[in-house]
């Protein structure tokens, strides 16, 4: 039987591979506003930059330094023995695929344009398209270990992204999520992300301590990720989808708290959708704040926290 994505991630860990590290946090000065926010029944987390510390401060397929993309492509080519089945160009292996990678993402983004004003690309589909090109030169892989093309593409995408962007759980993240789960509140994601985001997040959180069972942490309807909708933040339709999913659980928008380190792309559209909002100001990386937005009563967050432990007071748990 093929390995699940979680089992594959365990296998990678057993090999003691070298992964990129998240840069040290640069502190930022802020005064918390963490008094009780009554009536909250659900918490939706932004993942990359908020729940997880991440290189670049946000999820991206094109990091700030292109050399990191080149290295990630190079490592992926070697890990999955792709080099002998590529249409090669002179130079290092990444040069033979980087143009195809960029063109495939651009084409997929254009195809998804009708579904929202800020389109999202499914990285599994990107790697599936790249692997299909390898089949033209008799590429093969171990289906017994990796599964069908979609399952294999997801594992390739997970490996590639792990090489591209370092991630680690934010201090206190596991405890905050465990406390929310124990309180009986509904909890989930409202975030830019991919099909491997849940596995990636749970693995990072587990390094801080034991987590409750998955069914106690999340309900399937409360996991709203951009890859699944075809649109990313700040697309209105992504927040509309979150409202609809929570309503199916009996939770209204005004009973929902969205937590993020970004105002304009995350908390402002969340508030426009009727949600309550909490801005996390923990470090400079990923933080997106505008003084005009903070001062405007129509857009400023309902609460501001500088440490995830302060959410206990906000939620009254």
Give this prediction's pTM. 0.95
pLDDT value for 130:
97
Q: Which range of residues forms the domain containing residue 245?
A: 21-59+166-315
- Residue 25 shares a structural domain with residue 55: yes
**Domain match, 170 and 285 both:** yes
Q: Look at residues 148, 164, 180 and tell me which one is the last residue of a structural domain.
A: 164
In Å, how far are 43, 54, 218, 314 from 37, measured between CA atoms?
A: 12, 28, 21, 5
- Residues 267 and 173 placed together within one structural domain of the fold: yes
pLDDT for 87 = 86
How far is it, in rounded angstroms, from Cα 192 to Cα 223?
Answer: 11
Tens-digit pLDDT profile for the chain (317 aa)?
999 999 999 999 999 999 999 999 999 999 999 999 999 999 999 999 999 999 999 999 999 899 999 999 999 999 999 999 988 888 899 999 999 999 999 998 886 555 557 999 999 999 999 999 999 999 999 999 999 999 999 999 999 999 999 999 999 999 999 999 999 999 999 999 999 999 999 999 999 999 999 999 999 999 999 999 999 999 999 999 999 999 999 999 999 999 999 999 999 999 999 999 999 999 999 999 988 888 899 899 999 999 999 999 999 99
Domain membership of residue 9 (yes or no) is no
Q: Are residues 287 and 238 in the same domain?
A: yes
Q: Are residues 118 and 194 in the same domain?
A: no
**16 cis-preceded (ω within 30 degrees of 0):** no
pLDDT on residue 88: 81
70 plus 130 within the same structural domain = yes
Q: For residues 131 and 151, what is the distance between their CA atoms, to the nearest angstrom? A: 12
If asked whether residues 175 and 34 sit together in one domain, one would say yes
Strand 52-54, strand 167-169: pairing: antiparallel
Domain boundary among 164, 190, 206: 164
- pLDDT given at position 306: 98
DSSP string, 178-206: HHHHHHT-EEEEEES--TTHHHHHHHHHH
Last residue in a domain, options 164, 197, 224: 164
- Same domain, yes or no: 157 and 205: no
| 286 conformational bin, left if phi > 0, alpha if psi -120 to 50, beta if neither | left
Question: Domain of 259: which CATH number?
Answer: 3.40.50.1000
Domain-embedded: residue 12: no
Whether residue 281 is found in the same domain as residue 173: yes
**Which has the closest alpha carbon to 123: 94, 97, 96, 101?**
101
- The answer to the question of residue 1 being in a domain is no
Contact call for residues 106 and 80 (beta carbons, < 8 A) = no
Residue 16 maps to a domain: no
State whether 99 and 224 are in the same domain. no
Taking residue 264's Cβ as centre, other Cβ atoms within 10 Å add up to: 15
User: pLDDT value at position 203?
Assistant: 96
Does one domain contain both 128 and 277?
no
Would you state the pLDDT for residue 90?
82
Q: What is the pLDDT of residue 100?
A: 95
Do 103 and 196 lie in one domain? The reply is: no
User: Using CA atoms, how far apart are residues 129 and 90, in angstroms rounded to an integer?
Assistant: 23
């Amino acid at each position: 039987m093929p390995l699940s994505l979680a089992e594959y991630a365990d296998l990678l860990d057993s090999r003691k591979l070298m992964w990129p590290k998240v840069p040290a946090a640069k502190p930022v000065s802020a005064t918390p506003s963490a008094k009780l926010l009554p009536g909250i029944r659900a918490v939706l987390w932004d993942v990359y930059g908020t729940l997880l510390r991440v290189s670049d401060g946000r999820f991206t397929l094109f990091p700030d330094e292109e050399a990191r993309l080149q290295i990630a492509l190079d490592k992926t080519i070697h890990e999955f023995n792709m080099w002998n089945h590529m249409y090669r160009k002179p130079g290092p292996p990444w040069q033979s695929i980087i143009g195809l990678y960029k063109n495939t993402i651009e084409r997929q983004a254009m195809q998804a344009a009708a579904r929202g004003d800020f389109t999202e690309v499914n990285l599994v589909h990107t790697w599936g398209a790249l692997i299909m090109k390898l089949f033209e030169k008799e590429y093969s892989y171990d289906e017994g270990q990796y599964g069908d093309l979609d399952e294999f593409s997801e594992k390739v995408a997970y490996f590639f992204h792990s090489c591209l962007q370092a991630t680690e759980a934010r201090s206190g993240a596991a405890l905050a999520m465990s406390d929310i789960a124990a309180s009986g509140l509904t909890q989930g994601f409202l975030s830019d992300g991919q099909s491997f985001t849940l596995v990636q997040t749970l693995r990072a959180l587990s390094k801080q301590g034991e987590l409750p069972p998955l069914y106690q942490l999340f309900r399937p309807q409360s996991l709203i990720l951009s890859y699944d909708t075809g649109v990313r933040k700040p697309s209105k339709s992504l927040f509309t989808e979150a409202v609809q999913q929570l309503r199916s659980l009996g939770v209204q928008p005004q009973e929902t708290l969205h937590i993020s380190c970004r105002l304009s792309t995350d908390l402002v559209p969340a508030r426009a959708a009727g949600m309550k909002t909490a801005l996390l100001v923990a470090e400079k990386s990923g933080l997106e704040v505008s003084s005009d937005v903070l001062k405007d009563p129509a857009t400023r967050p309902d609460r501001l926290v500088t440490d995830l432990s302060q959410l206990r007071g906000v939620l009254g748990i």
